A and B are shown apart, each in its own frame.
Chain A
Amino acid sequence: MKTLIIENIDLKKIGELVTVSKQFCDAPDIIALGEGDIPGSFGKAWQFGQAVPANLVSTVSNIIKQENYEVILMSVSTLGSGLAGPLSAALAAPAVTEVTAIHPDLVVDRPVYGGKAIIQHKIESTPTILTIRRKYFEPAQLDGTTAATALDAVEDKVTLVAETHEQTDGIPLEDANVIVSGGRGIGDPENFSMLQEMAHQLNGAVGASRGAVDEGWASPTKQIGQTGKIVAPSVYFAVGISGASQHLAGIANSKCVVAINKDEDANIFNRARFGVVCDYKKIVPILTQAIMEGK
């Protein structure tokens, strides 16, 4: 099937979508967003500079129509979410978002009810639009680069006034092998530094639940879960996190979850490999010290 990837220039995101595309075709085409070379080898390639998805809808839907693409792949992100709905309506194309598995004959899985159930759909017509949840497919290795045709958005509905990227000292959450995440149980913003110190000793990153983000203790970019980042570290420490299904949706592919929670009935213990029923304030400083000494 003729497949088109639409993605920002990002090795891992494009890599994951190339892996997905193998289920549909040998060599997908790509519309890449951003500056720089497009990593990997594609049939045809187009490129927009820095762009706002709302301005791309008509250009992209024209390309899909002209080239008769059957499957359009994006990852779940502000780009994928910005384009999936409008493209679906513009092309009268069925769209399935947050896809976690793909089976033969255009059968796909996606979670519902905060990840408590999985719905399976058969897609009955093409073109179809799929957004793929991060970390469910191994990124393909991308060799070389592909030369692209530069494109301009034909619409300027939205103006990008400014863009800010948060400084992260240390490893980005999505790449970290160890993540120390805090929830509402942390109780106050100061104590997040305790998690920071522990993560630092483990060469890991700090994450947060929506509870902690809503309280303003951690930035929204640190939120892990269904509507935050999807992560798959070797070890995920959930500290003062109750383990709502929407939070667990972000750590489904983590290898080992360690729960530190003072409520022995907290749902997180149903997902954890190791559990410590305890006030985190008692255990985290000792844990950090022991890790430091063990190095």
Chain B
Amino acid sequence: MHIAVLAKVVPDYEVPAMDFELSNNRAHERFSRMLGLYDENAIETGIQLKAKTSSSLTIISYGTDGDVQFLRKGVAMGADKLILVKGTSDDPSVIAQNLKLAVEELGDVDLILAGQQSADMDRGIVPGILAQMLGATFIPQVGYIESKDDLWNVNQITSTGKRELEFKGLGVLSITSIPENVPRIPAVRAIFAAKKKPVVKLDGVDQGKMALQEISVEIPKSESVCEFINADDPNEAVKTLLNRLTEERFI
């Protein structure tokens, strides 16, 4: 069996709002780059599934040559190889078409995993578009996956609990975070070994853009002024806090 995981390299998603800045309407290039957080959950899920089903695992990405060094972390976590489709579009439909090229290049993919949302575009839409383009089943917010004969059995985390779902054939699943798929930290030896694993590069296409025009990207101003309550004496602090909350009619 062959599992593919879609992963995207993004600017540091932990930069606090105060330090965040834009250049050319995108995150400033001075921020370090890394794998998206949910993409790492998807890789972790894929690696666990690979072990249980004796599958091979390929990481697929659409991006630039410079992303390869960061994608190698996913290989060090336990993937077998990398396939990069080269391009720079942020358009979800263009991205999905390029990912589809990689899936077709591999030819024998049985299951495709992706992160719930990329850590830069916050959209959660690329996996669903790709699924439709491939004629595959799309299920978002998946936690657990099991392979049962010719069926996939998955748990989807909903806002009120979970749904256990089953399907046959090619599926694209976007992975949410659960304690069981917190990404492993690769060992130093694995990081070195990952440098030797194969990387296939494909030239991307830049067509089929969505009919959306980008008007502006702006950083909203934050106006909150925090009133610090002295906590040297916790009893006093509690009294002050409750007084202030009642005075301002919050409680």
Contact = CB atoms under 8 A, between A and B. Distances in A.
A223 B35 CA distance: 22
A89 B161 contact: no
B20 A117 contact: yes
A274 B229 contact: yes
A160 B160 CA distance: 16
Contacts of A270: 16-18, 222, 224, 226
B212 A97 contact: no
A259 interface: yes
A291 B239 CA distance: 10
Given A121-B213, A158-B137, A178 B224 contact: no
Contacts of A278: 231, 234, 237
B180 to A, nearest CB: 9
A115 B239 CA distance: 34
Contact of B120 (A57, A112, A216, A220): A112
B226 A269 contact: yes
Interface string A52-80: 10100100000000000000000001100
A287 interface: yes
B162 A116 contact: no
Contacts, number: 264
A interface: dominant SS: mixed
Nearest to A95: B125
B177 A210 contact: yes
B217 A202 contact: no
Contact of A290 (B169, B179, B227, B242): B242
B210 A275 contact: no
Contacts of B242: 287, 290-291, 294
Nearest to B216: A120
Contacts of B210: 88, 94-95
Contacts of B244: 274
Contacts of B131: 85-86, 89
Contacts of B74: none
Contact of B162 (A52, A96, A163, A215): A163
A95 B128 CA distance: 11
Contact of B164 (A81, A90, A162, A215): A162
Count chain A CB atoms within 10 A of each CB in B122, B127, B140, B220 and give the residue with the most: B122
Nearest to B18: A270
B229 A213 contact: no
B14 interface: yes
A283 B240 CA distance: 12
B113 to A, nearest CB: 15
Contacts of A97: 123-125
Contact of A112 (B157, B217, B235): B217
A111 B122 contact: yes
A179 B127 CA distance: 33
A256 interface: yes
Interface of A: 52, 54, 57, 77-78, 81-90, 94-98, 107, 110-125, 157-166, 178, 202, 210, 213-216, 220-221, 226-227, 229, 234-235, 244-246, 248, 255-259, 267, 269-278, 282-283, 286-287, 290-291, 294
Given A89-B131, A159-B165, A235-B245, 18 more contacts: A81-B140, A82-B139, A85-B132, A86-B138, A121-B215, A162-B163, A165-B160, A213-B178, A214-B177, A214-B182, A235-B250, A245-B16, A272-B226, A274-B241, A282-B231, A282-B234, A287-B241, A290-B239
